[in-house]
Amino acid sequence: MNENNDCVALKRVCAFFLGVVISLAAGYQYGVGQVKQNFNNRIFKEAEKPVLPKYQKMQRERREKMREQKERVPR
């Protein structure tokens, strides 16, 4: 009878540690997935930004100057 109780206790301890190992592995995989997802989101956000904002701003200013010059010149 005593041997049977030892076996049950050993099974419970093994099940506990197995559960801890499985939860740690699952948590690690979840963390890796979150890091990948955050990285991809950041890359997509950067891709949506204009590549050369200063250059685009310069072009916009040049277009405005040309419009002003066209308006000044009488036809």
Residue 1 scores a pLDDT above 50: no
Token digits for 36?
């990948």
CB 17, CB 9: distance < 8 Å = no
Terminal alpha carbon distance of the chain: 112
pTM of the predicted model as reported, rounded to 2 decimal places: 0.50
**Mean of all residue pLDDT scores within the chain:** 84
State how far the alpha carbon of 51 is from the alpha carbons of 25, 56, 62, 70, in Å.
40, 9, 19, 30
**If you average pLDDT over residues 29-37, what whole number do you get?**
94
> Which amino acid, residue 26?
A
pLDDT in tens, 45-57: 887 776 666 667 7
